[in-house]
Structure 1
């Protein structure tokens, strides 16, 4: 991996890690854990934002993240209460998924809980 690729990966990891809409490390008491089928329907074919990062979840489980004028592509998979990513540059990770009503929350690998916002 060249220096630019490593720096890009580190910048994206830092951007995604810092994208929490709340400093909480715990889900709300009323949050529920969706099963794998629901996680799939939540993400497949939808686009969400986390602060300055936009993530597009394709219908064939492809994913594209746009951040800081750059992008990375990969795949995503759904599990009970989790979504997992495998990107070309960004480190692979799984995030816990919880729902509060129609609101979607992720628990990031840094332990912070972030609310996803549908991209408009």
Structure 2
């Protein structure tokens, strides 16, 4: 009985964390130049709240490659704006998403409101 109660008490906290839609405290709005420097020529792995993964490669010429662990892939153009990453793929429509930085960590707010972290692929 005590174990069930403990699990039920922890469950709302876990769900609230997974559905968080706010940027981390003290995160700042990066300039376009900062975003460009952080992304250009690098690949990132991004874990979503549902457990699936994205892999995104940003090249030096403004192109990107996108792959999802669910089998979807796309290729297109990207650009940095102050506080935003904008992209247009061959399948993904044009979109600009808010980004914030905390230290060297970059976070993006998806169209769904979910906040995801860019983790550099090694």
TM bin, normalised by shorter chain, reads 0.7 to 0.9
Q: How much has 1:70 moved relative to structure 2? A: 4.4
Which residue of structure 1 lines up, in the alignment, with residue 58 of structure 2?
57
Which gives a bigger RCO, structure 1 or 2 (Cα 8 Å, sep 6+)?
A: 1
Q: How much has 1:93 moved relative to structure 2? A: 1.3
Could you list the per-position Cα deviations for residues 56-91 of structure 1 after superposition, in whole angstroms to 9, with x for gaps in the alignment? 001001000012344211000110000001000022
The unaligned stretches of length 5 or more in structure 2 are 1-16, 48-52
Instruction: Output aligned runs, 1:28-107, within 5 Å.
Output: 28-51=24-47, 52-67=53-68, 68-107=70-109
Question: Runs of at least 4 residues of structure 1 off by over 6 A?
Answer: none
**Cα distance in 2 for residues equivalent to 1:22 and 1:117:** 17
Q: TM-score, normalised by structure 2?
A: 0.76
Alignment root-mean-square deviation, CA: 1.5
**62-71 or 100-109: bigger deviation:** 62-71
Give the paired residue count.
Answer: 100
**Cα distance in 1 for residues equivalent to 2:64 and 2:81:** 16
Instruction: Output aligned runs, 1:1-40, within 5 Å.
Output: 22-40=18-36
**Cα distance in 1 for residues equivalent to 2:109 and 2:71:** 25
